[in-house]
Structure 1
Amino acid sequence: MAKRKRQLTEAKIERMIKEGRGQGTGREYLPWLKIQDVPSEGRATRGLGWTTGRRHELLSDIERDYFYLLDYADEVTDIREQFPLLPLEETLMIAEQIGIEHPRDPRTGVPIVMTTDFLITCNDRDYARTVKPFNELENERTIAKFEIERVYWETHHLDWGIIIDKDIPDVMVRNIEWVHKEYHNEDVSELSTFTVRNVEQLLSVRLQDGEKISSACLACDQKLGLEAGTSLALFRHFIARKKWIVDMNERIIPSLPAVDFKVAISEYRLEAKDG
């Protein structure tokens, strides 16, 4: 019976490889692991990326938060999460050479394919990054697995590092999270260009004058006969598209004025992050 389970597990690994897991770039990349494949550490999410235009498989809160930072950064052109360290034989050899037990399926004992949380393309170079809460670095087994990962990327001549929760600026992340889903704002295509530009012009003047975000947005909705909340959604959209700039290191609070508000792009254009 144990042998049969081993064969099935090995067959699953082969099937995942044939499916294209861990292969491709940009929109075509398929993560090695999906949310349904593993128990999540926190609130697992599938976020539609600005950079890639695909949904990302994020298995923990810290992965989600780091993803927001990557997606917001202009110099990042690709984000590949749950990236497999293949071939499996390579990490098995590394583990044996450095005297560390290779991770195995707890039920079958079959060696599992290790993964790095993010493979990032930035300024035409690739970087491997693992993200973990600081308290997990006190776990000896976790550190041992990181050593296998470190040696793997070293042999592939790729920069690898660990990101902990203290490295992630919470205020900026929460601001990005607040505007993130409005990057692909459906109202932009449904509203006329004339209406969007009117919102842009009327709202930017009020915000530059220091009016509170919520009251300025409500005034624009009323003046233009728009459904309540439309201008606020467009405010988030313009921030996400970096058409408008605010201090992202200060929490965006709608009941307060926008901090250091300015118009970065004077004429509205709907375009992809890298377009």
Structure 2
Amino acid sequence: MAKSEWMEGKYRRFLTEGRGQGAGKEYVPWTKTYEFSSMGRATRILGIKTGRIHHLHSDLQLRAFLIFEFSHRVQDIMECFPLIDVKAVIDDHEDLRFDKFCNKETREQMVITTNFLLAVKDSDENEKYVARTVKNSTELTRKITFEKLEIERRYWLAKDIEWKVVTDKQLPKQLARNIEWVRDTLLDREGDRVEKEQLSVILHKHLLDNPHIVLRDLLKQFDKTEGVPKGTGLYLFRYLVATKELRIDMNSAIDFSKKISHLLPYIKGIESHEDL
């Protein structure tokens, strides 16, 4: 089979498999992490809001995913979204360098993708779509990067969908680390949910009633007082942060040696990144 026939067959197979189609749990990204070598470290992660495995092709994409998912505005995350109808959608594309994004051997046009298509709620609780391309700021010095970004910009403009480029400078590492540290408390078995929620209510009251106690000491005290295994208080603290029952400064490392009163006044965190 000729290389061009193989490429065409792969394209048709992807469409048949529903790549780039569906929503929520049913969405299928155009490419998956195991299908080609990535320039960065690839990650597969179970989405809390979607209930499916997300395929992310770099650490920066993972960082963006964690921050997007933690946002109360974001309802759905569709990664590696293909612009299959790009030439039909963009009326004026004669000056766009599609030739830069062709298979080097067959010269066939490759499918251009946008990193994330998000379903979000606006301030009036109406749902809409926004598109986000994630790039390291160092990549923005490359001409080919700008050529691809211009194709994406015109495509989403024609679709009347807001599109932005998000760089590493807008995706704080510490924020993503904190989100990753708390989010797995939302992924445990259904059978543990009732007890976890009941105990977390008790811990929440302990925290609010004892603002002058050091956080580390209170969590240890909680384990003894409630007769629960060591580390349960810490786990429930993470759960309360993950569910946003506790609002702490998610942009900074959590200092367990501080008094609770120094941690709980914060109501910022992801809110400062809601414009992503």
TM-score scaled by structure 2?
A: 0.83
**Unpaired runs of 5+ in structure 1?**
265-275
* Correspondent of 2:140 among 123, 137, 143: 137
Cα drift, residue 184 of structure 1? 2.4
Instruction: State the superposition RMSD in angstroms.
Output: 2.7
The question of whether the paired residues in 2 share the 8 Å contact of 1:75 and 1:122 is answered with: yes
Q: Which runs of 4+ in 1 moved over 6 A?
A: 91-94
Q: Could you tell which deviates more after superposition, 163-172 or 63-72?
A: 163-172
44-53 or 138-147, larger mean C-alpha shift:
44-53
* Structure 2 unmatched runs, 5+: 122-126, 268-276
Q: 1:161 aligned to 2:164? A: yes
Q: Is the contact made by 1:132 and 1:162 (CA closer than 8 Å) also made in structure 2?
A: yes
Q: Deviations over 1:53-88 (max 9, x none)?
A: 222111111111111111111111111110000136
Q: 2:222 aligns with which of 220, 223, 237?
A: 220
Q: Which residue of 2 aligns with 1:229?
A: 231
For 1:61 and 1:98, the matched residues in 2 are separated by 29
Q: Which residue of the partner structure matches residue 242 of structure 1?
A: 244
Q: Distance in 2 between matches of 1:200 and 1:41?
A: 43
- Kindly indicate whether the alpha-carbon contact (under 8 Å) linking 2:87 and 2:93 is maintained by their aligned counterparts in 1: no
Aligned to 1:174: 177
Query: In 2 relative to 1, CA 193–125 (structure 1 residues): closer, same or farther, beyond 3 Å?
Result: closer
Q: Matched residues in 2 for 1:34 and 1:115: separation? A: 12
Query: Retained in 2: the 8 A contact 1:94–1:148?
Result: no
1:128 aligned residue: 131
Instruction: After TM superposition, list the pairs within 5 Å mapping 1:29-40 onto structure 2.
Output: 29-40=27-38
2:193 to 179, 189, 204: 189
Structure 1 residues 95 and 36, CA gap change in structure 2 (3 angstroms): farther
CA distance in 1, matches of 2:253, 2:47: 22
Q: CA deviation at 1:100?
A: 4.5
Partner Cα distance (2:149, 2:23) in 1: 25
Q: Give the TM-score normalised by the residue count of structure 1.
A: 0.83
Q: Distance between the aligned counterparts of 1:165 and 1:254, measured in 2?
A: 28
Match among 80, 83, 92 for residue 82 of structure 1: 80
Give the share of equivalent positions with the same residue, in percent.
34
Contact 1:95 1:101 in 2 (8 A): no
Shift in alpha-carbon separation, 1:181–1:195, aligned structure 2, 3 A: closer
Distance 1:256 1:59, change over 3 A: farther
**Residue 53 and residue 209 in structure 1: after superposition, are their counterparts in 2 closer, same or farther (change >3 A)?**
farther
Q: Call closer, same or farther: CA 1:249–1:65 in 2, change over 3 Å.
A: same
Structure 1 residues 247 and 58 mapped into 2: Cα distance closer, same or farther (>3 Å)?
same
Aligned equivalents of 2:149 and 2:25: distance in 1?
Answer: 28
Q: Hey, what does 1:56 align to over in structure 2? A: 54
One-letter code of the match for 2:175?
Answer: M
The corresponding residue for 1:20 is 18
| Paired residue type of 2:255 | I
Aligned partners of 1:140, 1:97: CA distance in 2, in Å? 14
Structure 1 residue 97: deviation in Å? Answer: 4.4
Whichever residue aligns with residue 6 of structure 2, its letter is: L
